[in-house]
Structure 1
Amino acid sequence: MTAGRSRTHTRTRIRARRTSAAGLLLVLAAATAACESTRATTTTANAKAPRTETSWREAASYSYTLRAESQVLAGEFRVRVEHGRVTKVTGLDEDSRRQAREVFPQVPTIAHLLDRLDRAVAEHAATAEARYAPDGRPLHISLDWDANAVDDEADYGIDAYRPASG
């Protein structure tokens, strides 16, 4: 009787382990599917950010205020663009004035910011988001190429856009 009980007890333990293992696999599969679903939603949301989604077109000449936070450029700047090229950068505080002299070539036009956004979306950056004004021009662009990397984030606020008259 003890031998029969032992076999039954062993079979019960094996069944319990199989059930536990199957349950664990089911939980892991569900968790993985949930993560993939969240990632797909984020990618889909980010895929809506490219400028091809807006009818706004950058004027050939304009000025705007740029608030930048990135490894290369940080501060608040008044930027003048003529014929699609940055021609003047004025720092709006002491630190930004110093940077304006040092990193003038890195100060982007709005078109260059939108190019960076498009590239980030195309390359599946961890974050590639934009917020737009009702007329379609960008107000804010956030980029993070790799969520696990340090110093690859960039955040740009775009204010006081004024097309040149004439």
Structure 2
Amino acid sequence: MNPRARAVSAAVLVGALLSVTVACGSEDESNGRPAQGEAVWKEPAAYTYTLESTQGERSLIGTFRITVRDGAVTRAVGLDDSARRLVDRSPEQVPTIGDLLEEMNQARKENADKAEAEYADDGHPERITLDWLENAIDDEALYVISDYEPADK
């Protein structure tokens, strides 16, 4: 086998091994559930949830009760002063759970130092932690999702 063909064969083998390794590492072998930080939840068309957003200098700080229909926030109620100000001033900044997961995925693509999620038994995220640069001040975000209720459309 010539050196070029040998190099191509080695590259194909390495790629195949990496694919198998990644696939094997995506489930917790003890119960078949996704490993910590792996999303399998599919956002329903309609749901409500409470979001507590803290940390950093981000504009999305506060506690909100949010209603989502057809992938968009249709109602947001600020449950504290900070959240009420944001809802009054910039209601378009209130996210769906899908928006929060997209932010986490974008942080991962940008190689953030931390982009993790913890999931409930039904698969929806309950906590999303982001930190773009570990040693930077105020670039973190913590989203705690509670009172999640899928709704009939």
Cα displacement (A) at 1:159 = 0.7
User: What TM-score do the two structures reach when normalised by structure 1?
Assistant: 0.65
Q: Using the alignment, how far apart are the partners of 1:76 and 1:48 within structure 2?
A: 25
* Partner amino acid, structure 2, of 1:67: E
CA shift digits 1:62-105 (9 cap, x unpaired): 11100011411111000011110011110112332122212311
Aligned length: 119
8 Å CA contact retained: 1:91, 1:100: yes
1:58-73 residue pairs with structure 2 within 5 A? Answer: 58-69=43-54, 70=56, 71-73=58-60
Q: Is it true that 1:100 corresponds to 2:100 in the alignment?
A: no
Residue 49 of structure 1 corresponds to 37
Q: Using the alignment, how far apart are the partners of 1:108 and 1:157 within structure 2?
A: 13
CA shift digits 1:96-140 (9 cap, x unpaired): 212221231111110111111111122210111111001111000
Percentage of identical aligned residues: 46
Task: Single out whichever of 92-101 and 107-116 deviates more from structure 2.
Answer: 92-101
1:1-166 residue pairs with structure 2 within 5 A? Answer: 49-51=37-39, 54=40, 56-69=41-54, 70=56, 71-166=58-153
User: What TM-score do the two structures reach when normalised by structure 2?
Assistant: 0.70
Q: Using the alignment, how far apart are the partners of 2:144 and 2:36 within structure 1?
A: 19
SS of the counterpart of 1:105?
Answer: helix
Q: Using the alignment, how far apart are the partners of 2:129 and 2:82 within structure 1?
A: 22
Q: Which runs of 5+ in 2 are unaligned?
A: 1-24, 26-34
Q: Look at both structures and tell me which one has the larger radius of gyration over its CA atoms.
A: 1
Structure (1 or 2) with the greater helix fraction: 1
Aligned-CA RMSD value: 2.1
